[in-house]
Amino acid sequence: MSATSIWERVIPVWLALMALLGITVFGAYQPVGTFNLLLALGIAVAKIALVALFFMRLREPDPLLRLAAGAAGLWILFLFSLSFVDLLTRPAPSQPGVVTPRSEAPPARAEGSRAF
């Protein structure tokens, strides 16, 4: 592969990633409610797809490379699912027996001859 063909492939992908970055920054400051999360996740998936297909070369028919990428994706999915299950099974802070930190200021420090 010549150097010009590499640049002809890399520059458009880089420009697409920069455009998605601009859309991400622009979307972060727009008050669109719950659609903001969906927009951010959609842009993140598009960025992941671009990086995986072009920079990680998953478009090429290398079975070992695809197996490694699939195993990494499965592992990340496993870790996220365990984290979400842990989050969903935690008790609410208002239930009895749940220790929550105090929000008040700590007591003033003792001064003078009786301070330890």
Together in a domain, 24 and 50: yes
Q: What domain range includes position 84?
A: 61-90
- Split at pLDDT 50, 70, 90, the class of 6 is confident
Q: Please state, in angstroms and rounded to a whole number, the distance separating the CA atoms of residues 54 and 56.
A: 6
- Domain-terminating residue out of 10, 37, 59: 59
Q: What is the pLDDT of residues 48-85, one digit of tens each?
A: 999 999 988 888 888 999 999 999 999 999 999 999 99
Together in a domain, 70 and 53: no
Together in a domain, 12 and 24: yes
Together in a domain, 22 and 2: yes
What radius of gyration do the chain's Cα atoms show? 25
Together in a domain, 70 and 46: no
Together in a domain, 38 and 50: yes
Q: Are 62 and 69 in contact (CB under 8 A)?
A: no
- Pick the residue with more confidence: 47 or 56? 47
Residue with token string 């842009």: 43
Calculate what percentage of the chain has a pLDDT beyond 70.
Answer: 78
